[in-house]
Structure 1
Amino acid sequence: MQRRARRKFDDEPENHERWLISYSDFITLLFAFFVVMYAISSVNIGKYKVFSDALGDAFGGQGSATPVNTQVLNLPIPNPALKRRTELMRKEKEQMTKLAQDLLSTMAPLVKEGKVRVTQNSRGVSVEINASVLFDPGLAKLTAESREALVAVAGLLKTDTHNVQVEGHTDNVPISNTYFPSNWELSAARAGAVVRLFIDAGMAPSRLSAVGHADNIPVAPNDQPESRARNRRVAVTILSGIPDPATEVPTTSPAPAPPP
């Protein structure tokens, strides 16, 4: 029996363009790489989300990637010096507030009578005392009654470390006598008298200063006897050691006059 001859099949022809598939995959990945690099170089939340969604769909991912939190880049850089100054200002304000409350308690009877006023601001704590409490008209010698109140104030300030400025003020009525040729001398002498009492009560002289303003800083119009009485006063200011920069007034030199 003659064996049936086996049919020969032609071999599959070789495909010489198969490299195009690998090349196209390489080009696609290279394009995706440059797109990613561009997106990273200029971060935009909206574009980033659209791009990540597109990549997720193209590669069969499960939605977009978590957006980059670019707000972290906008956080202020901590400033240790500013933080330290803020803390010092807070403690200074608390100390000055307590000092103002102690002065109010010490001068309570005169405060109720309207002869003493205690205020607090960025400059410090100020105690304004009506001149009628301290001096006889036209004189700069402290009365016996005023010494008790001022000694009590000095007792509070003696253990404190802040500088103290004493300012004398008058009304606008001119004065001219044997002791004081003008209100300038009278206001300065009254401020000096208070400073001398503070020194005698134990306060360090290096912390004290006396200033006379005459009638140049009135607190009321000088048109009525009651208003003029308010302007005749002595202000004892406990100066803050750390002034608030928000309320400081910068000193500037006057602009030079234009050439003729």
Structure 2
Amino acid sequence: MRRFGRRQERQIDYWPGFVDALSTMLLVIIFLLSMFMLAQFFLSREMSGKDRALTRLDRQLGDLSSLLAMEHDAKERAEQETGTLKATLKETQEAAQKSEAEAQARAKDSSAALDSEKAQSAEARSQVETLNQQLGALRQQLTGLETALSAAKERDQQDQVQIENLGRELNAALAQKVQELARYRSDFFGRLRQVLGDRPDLRTVGDRFVFQSELLFSSGQVRLSPEGHKELDALAAALNDLAKTIPADIPWVMRVDGHTDKKQIRSAQFPSNWELSTARALAVVHYLIDKGVPPDRLAAAGFGEFQPLDPGDSEEALKRNRRIELKITEK
């Protein structure tokens, strides 16, 4: 029993010390981890700042690279120019070494060139003074031109007034000629009415004298009938008398207009009423020319069925629309 008790008394309890050591170690580890994390935080901030700084440095480095390249190019050009200058200097030195006399001659040439430059400068100043004088003269000419332009504008206004007056006078003269022509036309129609007689197939419509087509042509034909010859002979005689009485300064012409009814004609000779009406008007014109009427006082026109006097469909209406009209008008 004593031995056993002594053994128990001699046995040492290490566990509390071990726990204390572990706790201390754990605190140290936690402290180290905290310091590591704190250092990591500051390091990341520092690295972020360094990244931005590196970015700025990269941009600056790029700018510096561009500047360096430009500087390099400038340096190369400068070196080339320097080399050229060195070569020139070397040549000059060699030339100076070869002959001092030549150097003196060059100095004299330079002096002469300087004198020439001075002379040219004086001449240039003289030319500038001359140009200033010429500029003053041009300004005086410009003033004179402006004055002349103002006078020309006034004359133009006066001419415009004269043109307007001439226009009014011309219009009055034309109106007078038109009135004279209307009087001669009225006299001609009156004389023609006396010659041909008062007949229903001959009538005056406004300023036109109207022949029914049946009086001059057979149905669908363009050859004048014998009765048509007789009627046109009287017309030609009256027209020739009129040509002798109208003054030469009145530009008149008798227009012969051919008209058809609305019935369509289609043949190899006359594909439509246009051709028929025009051919009849031309037949009248050619006959009048053969009877001595001046050709320059005649004109022919065809209107087909498109200028009817009567829009009806009756036989009487169709007959009225088949006609030859004579109209004395201005050229």
| Cα distance change, pair 86–223 in 1 and its aligned pair in 2 (3 A) | closer
Q: CA deviation at 1:83?
A: 5.5
2:192 corresponding residue in structure 1: 103
TM-score, scaled to structure 2: 0.44
Alpha-carbon distance in structure 1 between the residues aligned to 2:240 and 2:222? 23
Alpha-carbon distance in structure 2 between the residues aligned to 1:165 and 1:82? 24
| Cα distance change, pair 205–223 in 1 and its aligned pair in 2 (3 A) | same
1:121-140 map, 5 Å:
121=207, 126-140=208-222
**Residue in structure 2 matching 1:193, options 266, 269, 283:** 283
Alpha-carbon distance in structure 2 between the residues aligned to 1:237 and 1:140? 20
Letter of the structure 2 residue corresponding to residue 105 of structure 1: Q
| Cα distance change, pair 212–91 in 1 and its aligned pair in 2 (3 A) | closer
Q: CA deviation at 1:88?
A: 4.0
User: Could you say which structure has the larger radius of gyration?
Assistant: 2
Alpha-carbon distance in structure 1 between the residues aligned to 2:188 and 2:235? 11
1:18 corresponding residue in structure 2: none
Q: Is the 8 A contact 1:140 1:193 kept in 2?
A: yes
2:265 corresponding residue in structure 1: 175
| Cα distance change, pair 180–93 in 1 and its aligned pair in 2 (3 A) | closer
| Cα distance change, pair 232–84 in 1 and its aligned pair in 2 (3 A) | closer
1:117 corresponding residue in structure 2: 203
Q: Is the 8 A contact 1:100 1:120 kept in 2?
A: no
Letter of the structure 2 residue corresponding to residue 95 of structure 1: Y
1:49 corresponding residue in structure 2: none
1:217 corresponding residue in structure 2: 307
1:141 corresponding residue in structure 2: 223
| Cα distance change, pair 240–107 in 1 and its aligned pair in 2 (3 A) | farther
Runs of at least 5 residues in structure 2 that lack an aligned partner in the other structure: 1-164, 247-251
Alpha-carbon distance in structure 1 between the residues aligned to 2:213 and 2:304? 13
Alpha-carbon distance in structure 1 between the residues aligned to 2:301 and 2:183? 27
Q: Identity percentage over the alignment? A: 31
Alpha-carbon distance in structure 1 between the residues aligned to 2:279 and 2:169? 46
Flag the structure with higher helix content: 2
Q: CA deviation at 1:184?
A: 0.9
**Residue in structure 1 matching 2:325, options 208, 223, 235:** 235
* Per-residue deviation, residues 96-151 of structure 1 (Å, max 9, x unmatched): 2211211111221xx42x10112444xxxx21100111111111110001111111
2:256 corresponding residue in structure 1: 166
**Greater length-normalized contact order (CA 8 Å, ≥ 6 residues apart):** 1
* Per-residue deviation, residues 33-61 of structure 1 (Å, max 9, x unmatched): xxxxxxxxxxxxxxxxxxxxxxxxxxxxx
Matched, 1:153 2:228: no
* Per-residue deviation, residues 218-243 of structure 1 (Å, max 9, x unmatched): 000241111001111111111157xx
Q: Is the 8 A contact 1:154 1:198 kept in 2?
A: yes
* Structure 1 vs Structure 2 CA RMSD: 2.3
Letter of the structure 2 residue corresponding to residue 116 of structure 1: L
Q: CA deviation at 1:176?
A: 1.4
How many aligned positions are there?
158
